[in-house]
């Protein structure tokens, strides 16, 4: 389905219930599965990725297909390897089969895991034969994906020897690893991180009821809307001021792009100001998920800046650097935006209608991957959305 989207006034006033954090939800589901005692999760994400992970964790099928849910695939690779008496195939979409998994598989094999490639070496699908893993001293590259590291850390407490994880090369998305360890600590797991070594002794997760906070990555699209609007008062519910999510960095970045942020009684309020002092360069090594919304914001404000730390973006749902460049060119010509089966492409380009007039966004269902109510929320904010055929 395709949408035409516009905003008649460029004045945005709304009260939005942001979706629960997909990143925290997926980590929490693995913790729940590894915990000896069940516990209740409140406000679990209703995103595509989280639903696929939920289904996979209770599946009794010989083949688990997670579509294009990358986090789900990576977390399941370690989890299933650690489970006794399991033998199954883990697969996904055509795009998933292009996304490298070799670094994670090599590390798991080093712990004693039995994993075979069924098609192309180093890529999904995988045949996984689960069993009791040793753990111990393991090496992994930090420059490919922080999700490889998180995937291993989540199962570390149940390994015979725990883990001493040596991370080689530059660590990308470090804040996501910090988030993983912080969440594990809330469930009783102690860890030690010094230099490039993370150590976790054999331990047991402690069950407790947990309410998930909203998603700071999803908030980035509202920061973009605030920056591109003529004026606004946007109230975002469910975020924590002391959040363990790295994308809280939105506040500092967009403050220099004309957006004031303040917490009032647990609600984050965004207001427009005219003080723009953009950075000459942005290093997003630790927060790559906000690249698209920030790049589109800068383009809409006619600001040129350099970007650093984007090495992981070529292996996301699409090559995000190329995709964004392609579609930005269309904002001043055809105004028909393709989304490349990437949820963040749709959500980053939709706000651009505040500066470039009515746009067509193709394949709008892609937002279901992380923010299923995105289009409904845009309507609350005064955007006019009309449905087109495919």
Q: Mean pLDDT for each 10-residue chunk of the chain (390 residues)? A: 97 97 96 96 93 94 93 96 93 93 95 95 96 93 89 97 94 90 97 96 97 96 98 97 93 96 96 91 92 97 94 82 95 96 95 98 94 97 89
How far apart are alpha carbons 349 and 360 in whole angstroms?
A: 10
The answer to whether residues 390 and 361 touch, using CB atoms and an 8 Å cutoff, is: no
Are 262 and 322 found together in one domain?
yes
| pLDDT value, residue 226 | 98
How far apart are alpha carbons 171 and 126 in whole angstroms?
A: 25
- Angle at the Cα of 68 (from 30 to 350), degrees rounded to 5? 110
- Which stretches does DSSP call E strand in 277-352? 281-283, 306-308, 336-337
Are 39 and 145 found together in one domain?
yes
Structure-token match 């009783």, residue found: 188
Are 34 and 122 found together in one domain?
yes
| Buried b / exposed e along 296-307 (16+ C-beta atoms within 10 A) | bbbbbeeeeeeb
Find the CATH number of the domain harbouring 196. Answer: 3.65.10.10
Sheet holding 63-65, edge to edge: 63-65, 87-91, 126-129, 114-117
Closest CA to 340 of 285, 292, 389: 292
Are 255 and 371 found together in one domain?
yes
Q: Tell me which of 162, 193, 210 is where a domain ends.
A: 210
β-strands 267-276, 231-237 pairing:
antiparallel
> Cβ-count burial of 195 within 10 angstroms (0-12 exposed, 13-18 middle, 19+ buried)?
exposed
Are 200 and 235 found together in one domain?
no
Are 29 and 92 found together in one domain?
yes
| pLDDT value, residue 144 | 80
DSSP state of 320: H
3-state secondary structure of 189: coil
How far apart are alpha carbons 368 and 386 in whole angstroms?
A: 18
- What residues make up the domain containing 133? 22-210
Catalytic residues: 289
Are 11 and 71 found together in one domain?
no
- Angle at the Cα of 134 (from 132 to 139), degrees rounded to 5? 130
| Buried b / exposed e along 239-258 (16+ C-beta atoms within 10 A) | beeebbbbbbbbbebbeebb
> Cβ-count burial of 321 within 10 angstroms (0-12 exposed, 13-18 middle, 19+ buried)?
middle
Are 7 and 40 found together in one domain?
no
Helix and strand tally (H, E) in the chain?
Answer: 13, 20
Closest CA to 57 of 82, 94, 20, 21: 82
Residue ranges in 116-173 assigned as alpha helix (H): 146-155
Stated length of the chain: 390
Overall domain count for the chain? 2
Are 89 and 204 found together in one domain?
yes
What is the per-residue DSSP string for 206-238? ----EEPPB-HHHHHHHHHHHHHSSEEEEEEES
DSSP state of 351: G
Are 161 and 82 found together in one domain?
yes
| pLDDT value, residue 389 | 65
138 Cβ contact list (under 8 Å, min separation 6): 107, 110, 111, 152, 163, 164, 165, 166
Are 246 and 111 found together in one domain?
no
Q: Tell me which of 186, 210, 234 is where a domain ends.
A: 210
Closest CA to 174 of 155, 198, 157: 198
Contacts 24+ apart (CB under 8 A), 125-128: 125/89, 125/90, 125/91, 125/92, 125/97, 126/77, 126/89, 126/90, 126/91, 126/101, 127/87, 127/88, 127/89, 128/77, 128/80, 128/81, 128/86, 128/87, 128/88, 128/89, 128/90
Are 157 and 26 found together in one domain?
yes
Closest CA to 285 of 143, 169, 157, 386: 143
Element (H, E) at 118: none
């Amino acid at each position: 389905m395709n949408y035409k989207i516009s905003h008649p006034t460029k004045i945005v006033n709304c009260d939005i219930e942001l979706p629960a954090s997909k990143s925290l939800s997926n980590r929490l589901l693995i913790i729940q599965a590894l915990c000896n005692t069940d516990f209740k999760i409140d406000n679990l994400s209703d995103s595509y990725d989280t639903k696929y992970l939920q289904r996979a964790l209770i599946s009794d099928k010989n083949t688990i297909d997670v579509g294009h849910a990358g986090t789900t695939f990576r977390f399941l690779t370690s989890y299933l390897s650690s489970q006794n008496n399991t033998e199954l195939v883990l697969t996904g979409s055509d795009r998933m089969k292009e996304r490298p998994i070799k670094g994670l598989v090599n590390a798991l094999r080093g712990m004693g895991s039995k994993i075979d490639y069924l098609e192309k070496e180093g890529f999904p699908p995988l045949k996984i034969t689960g069993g009791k893993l040793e753990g111990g001293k393991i090496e992994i590259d930090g420059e490919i994906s922080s999700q490889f590291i998180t995937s291993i850390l989540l199962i570390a407490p149940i390994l015979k020897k725990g883990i001493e994880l040596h991370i080689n090369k530059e660590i990308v998305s470090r804040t996501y690893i910090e988030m993983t360890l912080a969440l594990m600590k809330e469930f009783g797991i102690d860890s030690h991180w010094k230099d490039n070594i993370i150590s976790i002794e054999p331990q047991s997760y402690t069950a407790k009821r947990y309410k998930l906070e909203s998603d700071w990555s999803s908030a980035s699209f509202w920061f973009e809307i605030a920056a591109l609007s003529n004026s606004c008062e946007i109230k975002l519910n469910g975020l924590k001021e002391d959040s363990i999510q790295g994308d809280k960095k939105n506040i500092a970045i967009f403050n220099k792009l004309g957006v004031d942020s303040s917490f009032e009684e647990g609600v984050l309020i965004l207001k427009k100001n005219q003080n723009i002092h953009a950075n000459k360069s942005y290093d997003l090594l630790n927060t790559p998920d906000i690249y698209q919304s920030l790049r589109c914001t800068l383009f809409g404000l006619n600001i040129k800046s350099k970007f650093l730390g984007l090495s992981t973006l070529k292996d996301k749902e699409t090559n995000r650097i190329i995709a964004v460049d392609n579609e930005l060119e269309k904002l001043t010509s055809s105004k028909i935006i393709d989304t490349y089966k990437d949820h963040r492409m749709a959500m980053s380009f939709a706000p651009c209608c505040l500066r470039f007039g009515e746009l067509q966004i193709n394949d709008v269902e892609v937002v279901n991957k992380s923010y299923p109510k995105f289009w409904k929320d845009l309507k609350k904010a005064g955007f006019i959305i009309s449905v087109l055929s495919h």
